[in-house]
Structure 1
Amino acid sequence: MSVEMWTAVSSGVVGVASAAAAVWSGRAARRTRRDHRRDDFTVVTDRMEKEINRQGLKITELEETSDRQDKRLEGAGVAISYLIERVRGLTSWVRAAGLEPPAAPPVPERAREFIHHDV
C-alpha cells in the first residue's frame, strides 16, 4: 500500500469515528422521555400551586365579605327590633289617648317572611 492509500484509509476511519462520536454525543445529549415527563410534572405542579394560592386568596376574600355581611345583618336586625318596639310603644300611646292609629299599608310580598307584626 502506498502512502496515499494509507492516508485515504486513515481519513476514512477518522471520518467514520467522528460520525459515530457525533451520533453518540447527540444521543447522549438528547432528553429522554422520562426527562420530558418530569418537566411536564413540574409544570403541572407549578400551575396547580399557583391555582391553589389563587383559590386560597379568593376564599379569604369571600370569608371577609361574609363576615362584613353578617355584621350588617346583625345591625339591621337590631335596628328593626328597635323600630318594632318604637311603633308598638307609639301605638299603645295613641290607643291610651283614646284614638286609633292609621291603617298600615300592605306589607310587600318580599318582606312577609321577615315581618311578623301584630300592630
Structure 2
Amino acid sequence: MRPEMITALTALAVALVTAAGGIATAVIGRRQPRRAHRRDDFTVITDRLGQHIERLERRLDEQEQESERDRARITAQDFTIRYLAAWVRSLVSYIRSAQLEPPPPPQPVPAEVQPYLHDVGL
C-alpha cells in the first residue's frame, strides 16, 4: 500500500470513530430527562457532526486529488531523469569512443546519486 492511501484510510477511520463517538454521546445524552432544550442540543450536536463529517470527506477528496497530481508529477520526473541519465551515458560513451576523457562533474556528486551513475565513471 502506498503512504498516500494509508493516510487517506487513516483519515477515514478517524472520521468514522469521531462520528461513532458523537452519536454514542448524543444517544447517552438523550436518555437523560427529556426536556425541550436537551432535544434542541441533540439536533445541534447532530448538525455539527454532520458538518464535521462533510468537511472531513471534502478534505479526503482533496487529498486524493492532490496525491493523484503528485503521482503524475513524480512519474513525469522519473521519466525525465531516466531520459537524462541515458543521454549522459551515451554522451560519455561517445566521448570515450573518440579517445577523449569526459569533463568532470560541475560539483561533487552526492552519495545518494553515485549508485545510479556507476557506469558513467563519475
- Per the TM alignment, residue 114 of structure 1 is displaced from its structure 2 partner at its CA by 5.2
Amino acid at match of 2:109: V
Aligned: 1:107 with 2:101: no
What amino acid is aligned across from residue 107 of structure 1 in structure 2?
V
Which residue in the other structure is 2:16 paired with? none
What is the aligned length? 85
Deviation at 1:37, TM superposition (A): 1.6
Structure 2: gaps spanning 5 or more residues: 1-32
- Output the CA distance in 2 between the equivalents of 1:114 and 1:48: 49
Q: TM-score, normalised by structure 1?
A: 0.65
Structure 2 vs 1, CA of residues 43 and 114 (structure 1 numbering), >3 Å: closer, same or farther? farther
Q: Which amino acid aligns with 2:36?
A: D
Q: Does residue 83 in structure 1 map to residue 84 in structure 2?
A: yes
Spell out the pairing of 1:9-88 with structure 2 (5 A cutoff).
33-88=34-89
- Structure 1 distance, partners of 2:94, 2:74, is 30
The runs of at least 4 consecutive aligned structure 1 residues that moved more than 4 Å come to none
Higher relative contact order (CA closer than 8 Å, sequence separation 6+): 2
Superposed CA RMSD: 1.7
SS of the residue aligned with 1:113?
Answer: coil
Max radius of gyration: which structure?
1
Q: Which runs of 5+ in 1 are unaligned?
A: 1-31
C-alpha deviation, 1:33, in angstroms? 4.7
1:19-67 CA distance string (max 9 Å, x none): xxxxxxxxxxxxx853222211110010010111011111101110110
Given the superposition, is the C-alpha separation of residues 114 and 56 from structure 1 closer, same or farther in structure 2, using an over 3 Å criterion? Answer: farther
